[in-house]
Structures are given as structure tokens and as C-alpha cells.
Structure 1
């Protein structure tokens, strides 16, 4: 055998031994000690794309009533109803050894008013509801007990609120603390004690309570109505100027 062939045969044997040693060493390593394989750039790009798809925002959902109140509102149509009055009572005094005690039915309580009040903390009409119902008064009772009147319902509005009814301005709430009675409460009914007279010593008549006042009001922020006068002229203002 020539020296060149002998050298190549020995070199091939050495390389085969090195390969067998590398395979045995890799098989003997524990999974936790094995070196991580380097990911290809293509796999990294695919992983980033999938992660970006997961982070995409879902489709638009309808806003809830709570979120709608966060937005600025400068005009609102409101139906206000005052509280109903309580009914009067028709009864007679009952006591041992007192046969003719007489009428003692009390009057009903008055209904509560609905009042618009200016609050400095309120910046928009977004918190104003489309309908308000005042508190009703309680009915009258025996022993000349009058019914309790309904509490006043306050509606907080921002400074500079114009109150319109039928296209006519009925109130201008431009200062902090200003109030306007939007709807009056109904009067309470009369008990049979109220109808006692010389010619009628035992009345049984009593009246029901009156219903509260109902009104449709349009609330508008005066400051927003004149906002077009400030800043860059609008198209309408330019047209009026040219005319």
C-alpha cells in the first residue's frame, strides 16, 4: 500500500471515531443541560406575527350608558313631572265612652317639586336624564294625622344653562347656586275634618291629591352656543361677513 493511501485511510478512521464520540456525548447529556438550538430568522418572524395578531384590539362594541356619560353634551330634552299629592282620609274619632267623637281625618301631603340647580362641579349636560319624576306625598291618617310631603328632587346642571319651553327662554342659570322650579308638586287632598261645619257635623267627604305638573323642557349650554365666536372663523361666519 502506498503512503498516500495509508494516510487517507488513517484520517478517515480518526474522523469516524470523532463522530461516534460526539454522538455518544450528546446522547449522554440531560435534556436540561443541552444547548438550545438557535431559531431561524423565518421562525422568529412567524412567531412575532402571531403575537401581534393576538394583541390586536377586538371589533368596536356599542358604548354603555356609563361610558356615554363621559362625553360632552350641550343640549338635552327633559320631561319633568312633579310629585303627586297624597289623598285625604275620611274617618271618625273612636274612643271608649265617647260615642260621638267627630271627624278626625287628616290631609294628604303635598308632592315634591323638581328643581334645577347650578353646580360648579358639573361641566356638561351628559349627567342629566331624559325624564324626572318627583316624590309623591303620603296619604292622610286618622287622629288628624297629616301625610308627609314629598321631598324636593334637585337636578344638577352646569353654569350657563338655558332653559327653554316651546322655543321661549324661561330661565337663564348663569351663576353658581341659581335654582329654577322645573315642575311643581301636586297639592295634597283634604280630609273630612276640613269639611266640618255647623250645618254638617259628621262630614264623610274627602278629596284625592292633585297630580304634579308635567313639562317638556329643552336645556342648552349658553357657552357652547357662542363658541363659534372664538378661534378660527367658521364657514357660516365667513359667508355672513361676505354678505
Structure 2
């Protein structure tokens, strides 16, 4: 008999719930989350910087208000509606010119659903060394989906406003120094049952071996999760 016929769904669910709750406790015990705080000189609070250097990431809570999130979601849903019906198609589902179809720079990146297109390959200079598991896809899933969009600021006023958020720019100045350059923007799209995996990777390839390397020189990512990051949705797993 197929082993799947012998699975105790209730027991499996209980075990998964325990696993997720334990993970949440560990995450909350790291001491690397909370609201944005600045000192009397306008610099990022020393406690936040210390936790960031210690853990490698910091979770800022309450940075975006409800109105900002609504604006971002509206723009995002508009982007989804305007994507090509398939790779290299010039039209969207409404038979209108597809978003990104006339862009000269690489803009839309496609993948098989639930795949890991970068992991374990030489793509992006091989900076994603490990390939993630690639689960089977449900019947009826599309052959390929857009999982990454570069140059997203040209398609979303809300994203552009977020990119220039004054408090987030103050964070960047506190970490990288006043003379920093924002240079990249992207949207990762992880639809349930379809979105591609993105394995761990070290962004950038230029400075890691520099004899004068400084941990604040390399740069860092700021990421906003439109629908949150939870143990259940597993958007980011560290």
C-alpha cells in the first residue's frame, strides 16, 4: 500500500504546529526586532546596530502604515494583471501590451512553479551555492511563472515612495555612511503553490576578499513583505 495512505494527518499537523511554534520562540528570542529607533543625533539606535551586526538581519516592525500597504498592494495587483500570459508573449491576459515587453534591460525572470532556478548553478556569479528542494506542482499549474521583477520602480509609484522612505534612508546612512548609493530594486513574487524558491546567497561579488573590507562597506538589502513573513507562509527561512 502507498505510504501516503497511512499518513495520520492530524498527527502530522500537530507536529508541524509544534515545529512552527518552537521556531517562532527562537526567532523572538534573538533580540533583533522592534520599531525604528534613532538616537539624539538622528543615527540608528546603537542597540539596533549591535543586534544587526550580531544576527546579520533586523526585523523592523510598524514601519509601513495601512494606507501605504494598500497602495503597495494595489500597484502589485496591477502588475500581476499586466504580466505576459507566458514567457516572451507581448500581451497580457487582457490582450493588452504586457508589462515589461518593451524593456531593453532584463526585467522579468521566469521559473517552473516551486522550482529553484538559481540554487546550485553558476547564475548570478554562483552566489546561491545550494539548491532548494523542488516539490511536485499541483495539476493545472502553469508551465512557468514570473518569480522576480527587476526595475520595479518604473511600474509602481508606491514602490518608488517606499524606496525613498526618509527613515529607511536614515538607516542606510547609519550603516553605510552618508555617501551611499541606492542601486537596485526588485519584487520577488511567491504565489502559494507556484512561487519559486530563492536559496541563501551572498549578494554582490566585488568586495568580499578586499584587504580593506569593512562590514559596513558592502551594502545590504531592505525588504518589505507585503503579506507578512510568518512560520506558516515561510516567505523567508533562516
Greater strand proportion: 1
TM-score, normalized by the shorter chain, greater than 0.5: no
Alignment TM class, shorter chain as reference: under 0.3
Greater helix proportion: 2
Greater RCO, CA 8 A, separation 6+ = 1
TM-score by length of 2: 0.20
Computing the radius of gyration from Cα coordinates, the structure with the larger value is 1
